[in-house]
Amino acid sequence: MADRSTSSYRGSVSLLKFLVYLALAVLAWAVLLAGIFRIDLADVWHPNRIPSLVANIYVVGLYALLVVIAGGIWRSAGGSLAAIIRTARPLAFRHWIEGWLSGLGGLTALSLLEQWMGMAMPNPDASWQIGPVLGAVATGTLFALTEELLFRGFILGLLLQDLPRWPASMLSAVLFALAHLLRPIDPGQLLLSFLCLWCAGSLLAYCRLRTGTLWLGIGLHSSWIWYVTTIGQLKIWDFTKDSFIWTGGGSPGSGLFGLIFLGMTHIWIAKRFSWAKAKCDS
Q: What is the pLDDT of residue 222?
A: 94
Q: What is the pLDDT of residue 250?
A: 59
DSSP symbol at 278: P
Cβ contacts of residue 34 below 8 Å, gap of 6+?
40, 41
Q: What is the pLDDT of residue 151?
A: 92
Q: Are strands 120-122 and 237-239 parallel, antiparallel or unpaired?
A: antiparallel
Q: What is the pLDDT of residue 43?
A: 73
Q: What is the pLDDT of residue 252?
A: 57
Q: Is 184 left (phi over 0), alpha (psi -120 to 50) or beta?
A: beta
In contact, 47 and 186? CB cutoff 8 Å: yes
In contact, 255 and 248? CB cutoff 8 Å: yes
pLDDT in tens for each of the 282 residues of the chain? 344 444 557 778 888 889 999 899 988 998 898 889 888 767 766 767 788 888 889 888 988 888 888 888 877 766 666 665 554 455 678 889 999 999 999 888 888 888 888 777 777 776 777 877 788 888 888 889 889 989 998 899 888 888 898 999 999 999 999 988 877 676 667 788 889 899 999 999 999 998 888 999 999 999 999 988 888 777 777 777 666 677 766 565 677 888 888 999 999 898 888 755 544 444
The C-alpha atoms of residue 248 and residue 258 are separated, in whole angstroms, by 8
pTM reported for the whole predicted model: 0.85
